[in-house]
Structure 1
Amino acid sequence: MFNGVKVFSATMLADRERLGEKITAWLQAHPRYKLVDIWVTQSSDMSFHCFAITIFYFDPDVK
């Protein structure tokens, strides 16, 4: 069971290269969150590639 969702996405190459650092910083800022599932998705067209990482988590402080 989860009670929270966080989506990280990037289209530009430089942003995609930093996505792991953004996720790591977010996880470190929320140490009480318990990860339930992670979905990695990609979509693209002729010009752009969008990469998304969706994190489903349980926040024990939510009543």
Structure 2
Amino acid sequence: MQKVVVILVLLFQGFTAQSQFKTDTSYTVKSTYDKLIKKYSFITIAHSEKNAIVDEKYNII
């Protein structure tokens, strides 16, 4: 019984430690583009292209 309580306390501590940090959203493609377009008016956002050689698999659990 004590082992279960200790494990639950440790898991709860891990969850609360992770929830204290906010995700840094200051560095995104759009925010960087908006900042740099003023100085470099010729820049554009690069778009990805699909490669026929690469096999992509989505939603693998």
TM-score range, shorter chain: under 0.3
Select the structure that is richer in strand. 1
Q: Between the two structures, name the one with larger relative contact order (CA 8 Å, sep ≥ 6).
A: 1
